[in-house]
Structure 1
Amino acid sequence: MSNGKIQFAEQDGIFVLKFVGEVRLTLCSALDATIEKIFASANFTSIVIDLIETRSIDSTTLGLLAKLSILSRQKVGLLPTLVTDQPDITRLLHSMGFDQVFNIVDQPSVTPENLTDLPSQDVSEPEVKARVLEAHRILMGLNESNREAFHDLVLALERS
């Protein structure tokens, strides 16, 4: 499964993002726009990110998920829920410190039927760079291990 996609639905104030396949930087513009849309919604109550069908996920996407958690805590005071039954994905989430900023469960509580694919977005190289930089700075703020892992990348991005 080389291509990935992100699907989205809203049901009674519960927002659901479903990641399918290999979720990478190319989907991050659409994800970031959707995060902004979620938190602009007047009826936002909670968010669930379904990673059951995710095969891989890159660090930029993980940084945007961390951003989503921070905004959720600020807006409604709740941790979002990540759903995964994939041992590799679960191990990655724990290694990044996501167990501190998400509720991680192995079965979805909500599975809306009206999921739609997020549309692809054309983004300039400077916008992509800014998004990658923001995502990795957020990851660095989660724990010391992440700070060490992404320090050189962030420095390189800041210099270029």
Structure 2
Amino acid sequence: MSTGHVEYASLNGTHIFKIIGEVRAQSCISLDKLLSRIEQQKNVTGAIVDLTQTTFIDSTVLGILAKLGLKLKQTHQIQAVMLSTNPDITTLANSMGLGQVFVILNYCGDPNVCTNELLDEHINHNVMLSTVLDAHRTLMKLNENNQNMFEPLVKQLEKQQDTIDHSV
């Protein structure tokens, strides 16, 4: 169970995401859907992911953030910024290859930035499976270490998804 949440704000084409507390896969369905909507927008000028209040982040959330960084680079030619003051979180982000798609800064800005909490979506198993699978596929694209680390999980999740698809 997640004991944290994601907050979001947008101003003049710059999108701000705050990951607060302990955030796991269950809390990122809303984030993933939001990223899909942002990807379609024309006026995107920047993105900031604030991890300064993050105490734990799982690989699914990291994969979704990687997807954000990759999409902004590919679609809008924008280098997103990641803020992190926790050395463990920074090390984890760098070890997963997020430094390739984000400029990672050790900066603690104003904690009172006006963001609104993204409310958790009603989660069904198929949506969760698809989100987790997509996030880990994205991480695998970042580097060979991630490819080796997550390949068994992705294969297992793909089998599970195939089983569900063929039973419907």
Q: Same fold per TM (> 0.5)? A: yes
Normalised TM-score (structure 2): 0.89
Partner of 2:34: 34
Structure 1: how far apart are the matches of 2:52 and 2:4? 13
Structure 1: how far apart are the matches of 2:74 and 2:151? 26
Normalised TM-score (structure 1): 0.93
Deviation at 1:120, TM superposition (A): 1.3
Q: Which consecutive segments of 4 or more residues in structure 1 shift more than 4 A?
A: 108-112
Confirm or deny that 1:159 pairs with 2:159.
yes
Partner of 2:62: 62
Deviation at 1:42, TM superposition (A): 3.3
The letter for the 1-side match of 2:32 is: D
The equivalences for 1:113-152 within 5 A come to 113-152=113-152
Count of residue correspondences:
159
Partner of 1:92: 92
Q: Would the alpha carbon gap of residues 76 and 110 (structure 1) be closer, same or farther in structure 2, given more than 3 Å must change?
A: farther
Structure 2: how far apart are the matches of 1:119 and 1:84? 23
Aligned-residue CA RMSD in angstroms?
1.6
Structure 2: how far apart are the matches of 1:43 and 1:101? 20
SS at match of 2:142: coil
Deviation at 1:104, TM superposition (A): 0.4
The letter for the 2-side match of 1:16 is: I
Deviation at 1:119, TM superposition (A): 1.3
Partner of 2:165: none
Structure 2: how far apart are the matches of 1:79 and 1:141? 17
SS at match of 2:85: coil
Partner of 1:5: 5
Residue 11 of structure 1 contacts residue 112 of structure 1 at CA under 8 Å; is this kept in 2? no
Deviation at 1:109, TM superposition (A): 6.5
Deviation at 1:71, TM superposition (A): 1.0
